[in-house]
Copies of this chain bind each other. A is one copy, B any other.
Amino acid sequence: MRNTQATIRDIAIKLNISISTVSRALRGAPDVNQETKKAVLEMAEKLNYEPNRVAQSLRIKRTNTLGIIVPEISLHFFSSAISGMQEEAAQHGYSIMICQSLESFETEKQNVHMLAANRVDGLLISMSSETKDVAHIQSLINKNIPVVLFDRVSDALPVAKVVVDDHDGAFKATEHLIQTGCRRIAYIGGPLTFYISNQRKRGYLDALLHHNIIPDEQLIVHCHELHTEPLEQVKRLLSLPKTQQPDALFCLNDPIAVPVLQLLKEKNIRVPEEISVVGFTNEPVSAFIEPSLTTVSQPSHEMGKKAIELFLEQSHDLDNFTPVTATMKTTLLVRNSTRKV
């Protein structure tokens, strides 16, 4: 935005007509003389005219831009979801502006402010694991900006959501562990305030109870931080007295399960013979790691598309909006990190 970009005014002057006529012609309004329109379009081409969306946005009070916040772009689940959003959004004339919270609540708040300042027409967010207070998001909602939560959602927000059935996915995963003979199944989860972690934990607990296994509090760990703490916790579990050690690890997600698998390999603990491991998400590496990781897959690309669809529905009909939750299917992918039935 710097040099001598042509404006509708330039076109108007060259053609000796008014700027409103140019504006109309450019926007393909019906009440414009065909000749005039043709001349305008040609002149626009000639002057290399490019509409100024900034000015348009200011005037029409819509930016045709959506804000997206994810914890970490480079996690495949998120980049794949973003990819789905981007494609769907582009099809409807929306551009997207992307931020990462890097799992930091403060950064997430800043991101929200920045997107609000940019007057995005909607916000699609997957919350950081640290996020507990949702006032920053609520403030957007109060300003009538449609918000769609995906994957990392919160019960405290009455908005559209795209999730998978975390409870069900976790139940299936845990049941699979039980059916393959595991009894001391540990859950490696996130912070106590982390919604999806709690959902998955509930699925895990319900599966245990359903099979008459009494949960052992010792085997349920809540990591405050998702990068290094999980490994520490697993090491701790492995150093318990033999009889108290877990025979299976159900991890909150693949980014936790994969390093765990590597740790076990380093320690020469055989998987799945001595200990089984299950993840969640189905990151691409999970299929390739040795042994390949049994995991619960989430349809990331579709979730992204769906999130945009929910935004569109809402923005078309702002008045009578009811916060729907789209629940997508998970699939248990049985691979080689768990025993055969």
User: Do A63 and B57 form a contact, CB below 8 Å, given A2-B143, A285-B284?
Assistant: no
Interface size on A, residues (CB 8 A): 57
Does A33 lie at the interface of the complex (its beta carbon under 8 Å from any beta carbon of B)?
Answer: no
Docked Cα-Cα span, A332 to B79, in Å, equals 26
Interface-central residue, A83, A87, A113, A288, by most chain B CB under 10 Å: A288
Does A58 lie at the interface of the complex (its beta carbon under 8 Å from any beta carbon of B)?
Answer: yes
Task: From the candidates B98, B118, B144, name the one contacting A53 in the complex (CB within 8 A).
Answer: B118
Binding site for B on A (CB under 8 A): 1-3, 5, 48, 50-55, 57-58, 61-63, 65, 72-74, 76, 79-80, 82-83, 86-87, 90, 95-100, 102, 113-114, 116-121, 139, 142-145, 258, 284-285, 287-290, 301, 318
Task: From the candidates B62, B99, B117, B288, name the one contacting A288 in the complex (CB within 8 A).
Answer: B288
Pair A95/B97 contact, Cβ less than 8 Å: yes
Chain A interface main SS type: mixed
Pair B76/A74 contact, Cβ less than 8 Å: yes
Pair B50/A117 contact, Cβ less than 8 Å: yes
Sample 10 A-B pairs with CB under 8 A, ordered by A number. A2-B143, A5-B143, A52-B117, A54-B57, A54-B63, A54-B118, A72-B83, A98-B98, A258-B288, A288-B288
Pair A50/B113 contact, Cβ less than 8 Å: yes
Task: From the candidates B52, B61, B62, B284, name the one contacting A119 in the complex (CB within 8 A).
Answer: B52
Docked Cα-Cα span, A86 to B83, in Å, equals 16
Report chain B residues within 8 Å CB of A61.
1-2
Docked Cα-Cα span, A255 to B207, in Å, equals 38
Pair A86/B62 contact, Cβ less than 8 Å: no
